[in-house]
Amino acid sequence: MNNKPKKPKKPIVFYYLIALAVLMVLNALVFPQYLSSSLEEVDYGTFLKMVDEGKVISAVVETDQVRFEAVDDDGRKHIYQSNIVANTELSDRLYNAGVKYGQDLPKEINPIFSFILSWILPIVMLVFIGQLLSRRMGGMNAMSFGKSGAKIYAENETGKTFADVAGEDEAKDALREIVDFLHDPKKYADIGAALPKGALLVGPPGTGKTLLAKAVAGEAKVPFFSISGSEFVEMFVGMGAAKVRDLFKQANEKAPCIVFIDEIDTIGKKRGGIIEGGNDEREQTLNQLLTEMDGFDANKGVVILAATNRPESLDKALLRPGRFDRRIPVELPDLAGREAILRVHAKDVKMGENIDFNAVARATSGASGAELANIVNEAALRAVRMGRGEVSQEDLEESVEVVIAGYQRKNASISRHEKEIVAYHEVGHALVAARQSNSAPVHKITIIPRTSGALGYTMQVEEDERFLMSKDEAFNKIATFTGGRAAEELIFGSVTTGAANDIEQATRIARAMVTRYGMSEEFDMTALETVTNQYLGGDTSLMCSAETAAKVDAEVVALIRKAHEKAVGILKNDMAKLHELAGYLLEKETITGEEFMRILKSE
């Protein structure tokens, strides 16, 4: 087998330059006599006669000859020369005849040179400028259509291994088998096992799907092809399919290797019966992808990894066995996972002593790996702003609040009365939460405004990771959300717009209890709502009649009203502590959970 690298083809501009050089040499060596041979010799008398007749346009008089441009009887211009003896009389004669005397004559241009200037040179310039612009535009010229544009990383160039991925142990275990196959394919071939052709990584944004794919390539030490699904979508029909063919052609040449397609839902959406406009191009691209995945030999070691946030939108043909055989969830990390992720990202940051990563992990329930990385970075930036050389626990806790609620608005001008309303509102939340069972402990209360628009907030942190929520716990959450408004009503006898977010959260939980969790006596265990895009916000849509939807609304309203009444009752029975805590919060602006519980338990 000949492994010698093929010599790269020379660009077409190279051949244009060769042709131009040949023509220039011919013009310099073969045709220079054209100019001199074109001068017509006349005697001196004829020259004087032409001067007197006014046919001479211009002349150059030298020591023993004169060269001049004149018009013949047919009106055409020619250049002549004549042997003379220069004298003053000739000069006067030329002057009196109006001849341009002493100026250079116009040169007759060689026709070959004229052709080059008129035709060849513009074409060469056009090709050169076109090539230059195409490179500046990222190779979008006629010669690059159908090229995949995939980024190829050789062996260790990804720089990532499984040690760089934390909090996704189940996903790593599922991918380790692929790495093992790429290391030792014979072990699997001997028993007759075939490697899955493709693995689909699904999960919310920021959970590390792309990082996992790079880690697989780094562990296996094989080439890694990375391309986004949107790069296949082209303006011209058929170009996306051509890019798919080119990608798999490159992959087969580099096998064993890993091909990673990010955001595959861009080209892998379910096909419909009606093709409109640009959808035809997307479907052709998908059809080509399906064909290529069927066509290549998995034993060669070409593994297809893909990532998406919308697995429900993918075409069924793409998910069948033989294509994407495995679906690997990459979910939001649990408590242990969040702590491990924080430690991984803290390796490259100078951290202070006695950093409690577990406390930060408990305060960031529901955070993705990307958000946790951002929290560590924000803590490092805060340490620099404060003039310290290492990150402290305070920096990490403040960065959690920055990610959740934004930066502090230190220059916000809030009146004393509004501060008082915010203080009672936040203490109302905390007091209702503390007086209920099965409620998360209060971690912090603050009335310092934030850039997110919040004038204050109450942070509750679960002591342990929770995966289930009982009906009583859900109802208590709603009551806690209504506690702020209840405090405003009791103390000030009016309500403000400050409870807008509380109302949204309470309504969302109450509606889910009725339509999805089967916690309603009216509808029992009937599913009245479905979740769409579970990884992108979890939007819901009702799946019931208008009559039933009206009953659902009434049930939700009754549930929230009941929780609101409960919150009002708790605060009425604890007015003394409500006033004491609100006054302390007004003075301090921020109090910890320990301070809150100390005041609450004091007599």
The catalytic site residues sit at: 426
Q: What is the DSSP letter of 116?
A: I
* 456/115 Cα distance (integer angstroms): 80
The helix (H) or strand (E) run that includes residue 325 is strand 324-329
- Whose structure tokens read 């502090």? 408
Q: 317 Cβ partners below 8 Å, 6+ apart?
A: 290, 323
Residue 599: alpha-carbon gap to chain centroid: 49
Tell me which residue of 215, 213, 225, 281 sits closest to 249, measured CA to CA: 225
* 518/528 Cα distance (integer angstroms): 9
Tell me which residue of 437, 557, 439, 421 sits closest to 489, measured CA to CA: 421
Six-digit token string for 538: 């979890």
Decide: 68 and 56 in contact? Cβ < 8 Å. yes
Tell me which residue of 155, 142, 146, 324 sits closest to 225, measured CA to CA: 155
3-state secondary structure of 61: strand
* Residue 552 bridge partners (DSSP): none
Tell me which residue of 308, 369, 143 sits closest to 242, measured CA to CA: 143
* 212/161 Cα distance (integer angstroms): 8
* Residue 258 bridge partners (DSSP): 224, 303
Residues comprising the chain, all counted: 603
* 370/345 Cα distance (integer angstroms): 10
Which phi and psi (to 5°) does residue 126 adopt? -65, -45
Number of Cα atoms under 13 Å in the Cβ half of residue 565:
6
* 167/207 Cα distance (integer angstroms): 9
Alpha helices in 347-470 (DSSP H): 357-363, 369-385, 393-405, 416-434
Tell me which residue of 271, 369, 261 sits closest to 323, measured CA to CA: 261
* Residue 530 bridge partners (DSSP): 541
* 499/354 Cα distance (integer angstroms): 38
Tell me which residue of 291, 197, 219, 305 sits closest to 259, measured CA to CA: 305
Which phi and psi (to 5°) does residue 446 adopt? -145, 150
Decide: 201 and 209 in contact? Cβ < 8 Å. yes
Angle at CA of residue 344, ends 338 and 349, nearest 5°: 120
Residue 128: alpha-carbon gap to chain centroid: 33
Tell me which residue of 534, 532, 512, 531 sits closest to 523, measured CA to CA: 512
SS3 content of the chain, % helix, strand, coil (to 5): 55, 15, 35
Bond into 256 cis (ω within 30): yes
